[in-house]
Structures are given as structure tokens and as C-alpha cells.
Homo-oligomer: A and B are copies of this chain.
Amino acid sequence: MVATLFPLDLGSIMHHLWLMLLPFLGLVSVAPAEKGLEFPRYDGKDRVLDINDRNYRKAMNKYSMLCLLYHEPIPDSKELQKKHQMTEMVLELVAQVLEEKDIGFGMVDAKKDAKVAKKLGLDEVDSVYVFKEDRVIEFDGLLSANTMTEFLLDLLEDPVEVLDNALELKAFNRMDEEIRLVGFFKNQESEHFEAFKEAAEQFQPYIKFFATFEKTVAKQLTLKMNEVDFYEPFMEEPVTIPEKPHSEEELVAFITKHRRPTLRKLRAEDMFETWEDDIEGIHIVAFAEEEDPDGFEFLEILKEVARDNTHLPDLSIVWIDPDDFSLLIPYWEKTFKVDLFRPQIGVVNVTDADSVWMAMDDEEDLPTAQELEDWIEDVLSGKVNTEDDDEEDDDDDDDDDDDDDDDDDEDDDDDDDDDDDDDDDSDEDEDDDDDDDDDDDDE
């Protein structure tokens, strides 16, 4: 459609390209009259290396960190080629922004550079691997310049934060969304602190490690010398890791075993990893906007239920705050047929995104903790599932979806809704034609 709007000349190809590139863009830096808030613009310099057999070792030695995107072979399709190049450009922008931080960036082709990939242990295509000293950190999150930059800056920080006083302890206590460990050690030189630090490096920046050397802080945390507590997100009480003092290996083993929490918040930096960590192909997903009173209320109920049921090994709920993923809200509303202006909880089949949602008539009709617990029990027992409603539209389980307005496009896919509004838009399309011609004249 776009192609027909422009005469086939260079200007048109450029315009066409810009349109095609849209999915990858994020922000536009408007130069303000004031100074102090200037977003970086790419300066055109190539910083991302094409890693191959000849240069990978040198790159590893040169930088304090090397950040490699392991990607599919360059595809034949123009569309996929563009996608690939945009990914490269996200890396280019991040490389430019972090230029002073001694981080190298590179691309490893899964086919052309298969040998290097094997040597380096890269296995998940489309993941980013960061090499830092003797560690490899996989990044399986949102490939945006923002998220990548924040992730890499986090990796440059100390793996263990030290809590010196009551105020810093307060900061620690507020972070209830995170998996956290905190230990009490004699001092920075303690061998047990050293082991704790080594373990911290294995999980940086995904799991937060804290330590204190102060008796008063330790007392408030009810920590004995060399003791380490493990805090599951949203739980009130931590678990003390048994049999102190701990070697690095013991700590790593314990964390690895207890890593999947009963309730976790979806985060940009590991969203795909979290989504892949489903239980038998499904996720229990809760949407709740923490900044919204109803969302907050629902979340408090959900936390209560999670706390009461944290002993169930198969219970793992993903909480998504829609505010963190604005661009996905309409996609989710359409795919799951729910209204995300209010809280929702449902079961999502990660293979086909089929889903079923708990019935709530309106914002005033939030479930009680008991009702939510009963519903979750029904999910775990298979009584509520995503397959039953595929046949019959209504059963007595209250699990029919409450899609008020969306019935009309029940079977629509994302790809083919251009047609829907053709009638409404025909006038605008004419206007657009005129406008685009105007634009061309200006070029």
C-alpha cells in the first residue's frame, strides 16, 4: 500500500525505508532551547565488531567486558535483513553511549561463525552474551538501547552492596520485588564474604546481593555471623540458608534450586527468559497496575495468596504491571481479550497464547483472597484450563472470558486487520495521498 503512494525514485525508497524501520524506533531527541537533557544521536561511527575466528580472542583481551549478540545467519528476506540491521544498530547506539566504559561489542553469526560460537559456548540464538572476566552472562530481555544500557551499567557495579546503617537497611527492605540475599560477615577480608561475592557474580545483575559488617544492622536482620538469608520476592520472611558458613558452590546450588518464586514481576531485562520458564506450557499471569488503587488492592490480595501458598512447588505467578510495557497493552488486550484498565488474572498457554481469565464483573468486584485461592487451586488441578472453552462457550466454572467489546474480532489475527477499517478510512486515505505528495515535493 505504501509503495503505491510514492514514485519510485531515491526519495521514495528512503521514505519507504523509514516507514519499514518504524518498529525498531524508540525515541526522537528534540533539541530543547535549554541544555542538560540531550539524548544521544548515533554519530555514524562503526563500533560493533563482526566477531570471527581471527578477532574474537583479541576482542576478549582488549575490553573489561565484551558484549556479543549471537544471531541467526543473515536471512535472504529483505524484511528480516532489516530487522537484523536494526538489532545491530541498537548495539551500535549502546556502544556509542558506553564508549568510555571499556566495553566491547560484537555480532556472532550462528552459521558463518559456528566455530567461534561453539568455542564461546553461545547456544541461544537472539540472546546477548556478556563476557566479564571468567564469567558469561546471558541477556534474554528486551533488546532496546535503554534496557541494554541499564543492564550493562548494572554489570559494572559491585556485585555486593554493603548495608552500613538503618537507612540503607530501609532501602533493602523496600525492594520486595527482587530476589535478594543478605549476609553478615566480619569484614571485607573475610573468606566467607569472599565466597558470597563470588556467588554474587554468578547471578549479577539479576539477583541482588547485600552484605553488612555492622552488628546493629545484622541484629535488625536477625543474622548471625556468616549467616546468609534468602528473600523470595513478596514474601514476608526470608529463608536462612542452612549450615553456615557457605562455600560459593553451596550458595550457587541453593539459589539455583530456589530461584523460581511463587510470584514474580515481569522485567524488561529478562522478560523472555521468564516467559520461557513456564510450567507445563502455561503461565498464571496477573495484570495489575501498581499505581492504580484497584491494581494495588488486587496486588495486595495476590501477594497474600502467594504467601499462603508458597509451599506449592508448581505455583509460579507472573505479575505484569502494564505501565512497564505500554506498547504491549493493546496487543495483550486483543490477544487475551481482556480490559487492562483493570486488574486481571488468567492462565495463558505459551504455545498459542490461548488464555482463560477469572471473572470479575467490574473494579468493585475484586476477588477475596479465598476466592483467588480457590481459582488458583482449580488452575493447578486442571479444572480451569485454556482448552475447555475452545469447544463450549459457557460452563459452570466462571472461566468464560469477559470480553465485552471484542467479540467481533474473536478469530482475528494481528496481521490481517488492515481490512477492518478500510471503509472508515477511505477519506483519510485520499487526504494521505495528497499529503504524501506534498512531502515529496518538499524533499
Contacts and interface: CB of A to CB of B under 8 A. Distances in A.
Interface in A258-317: 271-272, 275-276, 278, 283, 285, 290-297, 300
A20 B43 CA distance: 8
Which among A36, A85, A272, A278 has the greatest number of chain B C-beta atoms within 10 A? A36
A100 B330 contact: yes
A330 B2 contact: no
A34 B150 contact: no
Interface in A396-443: 414-415, 417-418, 421, 427-429, 431-432, 434-436, 438-439, 442-443
Contacts of A169: 293
A165 interface: yes
Contacts of A330: 40, 97-101
A171 B293 contact: yes
Contact of A431 (B50, B271, B328, B331): B50
Name which of A30, A40, A175 has the most chain B CB atoms within 10 A of its CB: A30
Contacts of A328: 37-40
A437 to B, nearest CB: 10
A379 interface: no
Contacts of A435: 49-50, 52
A126 B30 CA distance: 7
A381 interface: no
Contact of A89 (B14, B18, B210, B351): B18
A335 to B, nearest CB: 7
B23 A42 contact: yes
Contact of A83 (B22, B28, B37, B327): B28
The 10 A-B pairs of least Cβ separation, nearest first, read A26-B26, A50-B435, A22-B42, A171-B296, A23-B41, A27-B144, A168-B293, A35-B353, A150-B326, A149-B326
A36 B87 contact: no
A323 B151 CA distance: 10
Contact of A36 (B44, B326, B353): B353
A17 interface: yes
B161 A293 contact: yes
Contacts of A429: 46
A15 interface: yes
A406 to B, nearest CB: 8
Nearest to A442: B74
